[in-house]
Amino acid sequence: MSGERKPVDVAVGVLVRRDALGREGDFLLTSRPEGKVYAGYWEFPGGKLEAGETVEQALRRELHEELGITIGAAHHWHVEMMDYPHALVRLHFCKVYEWSGEFEMREGQQMAWAGLPVQVQPVLPGTVPVLRWFAQERGFDGATHVA
């Protein structure tokens, strides 16, 4: 069928800090680097799966390439389809609670630890569902980000 687009699979890391009692706290957002579609928009970091890779393998590779960190276990959380003008994307969101290494913004992007409501802007459309999931889990009522 012409016009039908095949989805691009993307592994996305939702890095979450825990407090002393083990409760989920702030989460990491990064800006999209110059030269990429939606440059300057804030998102959860990650990237495309390469041939033969699992979601966790792709996430491990991408976060090392982009941020210079080595992640612990990736906990599969949600899958969301996003129909962007440039691509149909299947986002595989994984929560990550453990990592090692110093954060290095290897693509010239920015990073921010955030809570609800997210203050950095603009927020990538594919990030908005994640903020809603956090709001549901945390009993947060109100706007999840600055529009």
Q: What is the pLDDT of residues 20-31, one digit of tens each?
A: 999 999 999 999
Q: For residue 132, give the CATH number of its domain.
A: 3.90.79.10
In degrees, rounded to 5, the angle at the alpha carbon of residue 58 between the alpha carbons of residues 56 and 61 is 110
Instruction: Read off the pTM.
Output: 0.93
**How confident is the model over 34-51, as pLDDT tens digits?**
999 999 999 999 999 999
Count of the separate structural domains present in the chain: 1
β-pair partners for 12: 46, 93
For residue 116, is it within any domain? yes
Asked whether the beta carbons of 107 and 33 are under 8 A apart, the reply is yes
For residue 48, is it within any domain? yes
- Residue ranges making up the domain that contains 50: 8-137
For residue 142, is it within any domain? no
For residue 46, is it within any domain? yes
For residue 3, is it within any domain? no
